[in-house]
Chains A and B, each alone.
Chain A
């Protein structure tokens, strides 16, 4: 019964070319918990996540989605993952430079988007988390985000007949709810959040009737010349850490990656984020200091600060005209993937959980 949940989406896939999700084989299709195959679009690198070893299943995905939207994860049951990672805005906290977590407390960094995470080599702005499966522990335990722990959440889940049943459906009838399986379910949901159907993708795939405007085409050319050494296609990130010349914030005093590596050469370096769906994931930068893309372009062209470990790639001025900047912005907006942002399978589904 439950395995049919994805069939409407399959139909959609055939129609508009959404890659996610499709089923691996007929044998598994008839099972109660079929494997959802996350495809690698043509021209994309191999995912970092090993889907053979840790596949995404229909029931695991569904359980993970429920957990993602459930405030029971936070210490006082007020904050869910989705409180800051909103599906309609690229799974980030739109219009919030810094997000508020439990008790209205504020963090020190801008909420990162959750998409195409199967290709991430590390997570968080400082790269401190090394695997998608353990990523949820960071917000869970942060005192200004969920202020919770596995030992807080697991007993709550074990008291819910609905969750007990769902864990069995996802991981087998003998299943007890454990920290490992809780994390695996959440990661399965996140691993399935794939965006690869923007106008840019369609143009690259040479789909009929889709082409760049003149401004977008000029923007792509400028983007490749000035931005893509870090924001590399097709993922629009090279998975590295850079100091992009922001004026250090005297209040936040955030050194970025040095917190993890303790190396001076990593001071002021932060993750190079993907730019997919950037139009909707404002504000920008690790501390959300820029409200719009115009401010971002102004920064890179006119306001790069010569601080320690400044990226080599930013040492030479870009020399962009106002027209150039507008063209780049026009191109960046072609990275918006409405099929991803409006995918009904990715959003909250009311369920009776008791």
Chain B
């Protein structure tokens, strides 16, 4: 509730009521940042170096953590919805800039929830080569079975009897029962107190990926299918709105 009001007030202050024309008259607009905070359980995520222990007691390190956050929408308490145009963002724990998503020209108002998709819609996955965050050169596109990799988690654990003890989970797929696209809605007004900014902070907890996956049994899921769907269901629970100051 507080954050929602904060958006309203600071939006007016910072943007000086910059307005754009919409049906029903001029609505003041503002900038909003979505800040993604990658964590592992209750610790910040440090790639490659830090060791973590998951819910199965597996000790592991995380080397890569990336996902597509797309189709961002803000739902207002008055029932209106803001949808970002061409909304495709590649979030990469390695790329600090990718952890801050800037939404521009967002109508000022009381936001009750944020909706977004983890993955890329099937239409985009079937319509050729795209640029920006969707450029196939980011290692998030399957060459032999066209389509985007929606989320990628790679790392190492002694539990994996593989070269370099590596594990790799690449989730994607959009056909029928293999559809791994997940759309989520998080309530913004459940947010703990935050500093007065236009930031919505979302925690992404890698630990949740391992629900139902033991590294001793499974170290590689790299094609669409039942296992990828299971992973998508698990990581759908990794997001949580947090206080902006929370590390």
Contact = CB atoms under 8 A, between A and B. Distances in A.
Interface of A: 54, 124, 128-134, 137-138, 140-142, 149-151, 154, 178-181, 183-184, 187, 259-262
A259 B142 CA distance: 14
Given A151-B137, A262-B178, A133 B144 contact: no
Given A151-B139, A179-B136, A262-B178, 8 more contacts: A128-B144, A131-B127, A131-B146, A132-B128, A134-B128, A149-B137, A150-B136, A183-B128
B77 interface: no
21 contacts: A124-B144, A129-B146, A131-B127, A133-B129, A134-B141, A134-B146, A137-B136, A137-B141, A141-B143, A142-B144, A149-B137, A150-B137, A151-B137, A151-B139, A178-B131, A179-B137, A180-B129, A180-B130, A184-B129, A187-B128, A262-B178
Contacts of A129: 143-146
Interface of B: 125-131, 134-137, 139, 141, 143-147, 175, 178, 224-225
Contacts of A134: 128-129, 136, 141, 143, 146
Contact of B136 (A124, A183, A260, A261): A183
Contact of A128 (B127, B135, B146): B146
A138 B143 CA distance: 5
A137 B148 CA distance: 13
A262 B143 CA distance: 17
Contact of B137 (A128, A130, A178): A178
B132 to A, nearest CB: 8
Contacts of A184: 128-129
A232 B58 CA distance: 57
Contacts, number: 73
B56 to A, nearest CB: 27
From DSSP, what is the main secondary structure of chain B's interface residues? loop
Contacts of A178: 131, 135, 137
A151 B138 CA distance: 8
Given A131-B127, A131-B128, A132-B128, A180 B135 contact: yes
A141 B146 CA distance: 13
Contacts of B136: 134, 137, 150, 179-180, 183
Given A134-B136, A154-B137, A262-B225, A183 B129 contact: yes
A129 B126 CA distance: 9
A179 B90 CA distance: 15
Contacts of B178: 262
A229 B206 CA distance: 52
Contact of A130 (B130, B134, B135, B146): B146
Nearest to A131: B128
A137 B127 contact: no
A149 B143 CA distance: 10
A179 B130 CA distance: 8
Contact of B144 (A138, A151, A154, A262): A138
Closest 6 CB pairs of A and B: A179-B137, A133-B128, A150-B137, A137-B143, A183-B129, A180-B131
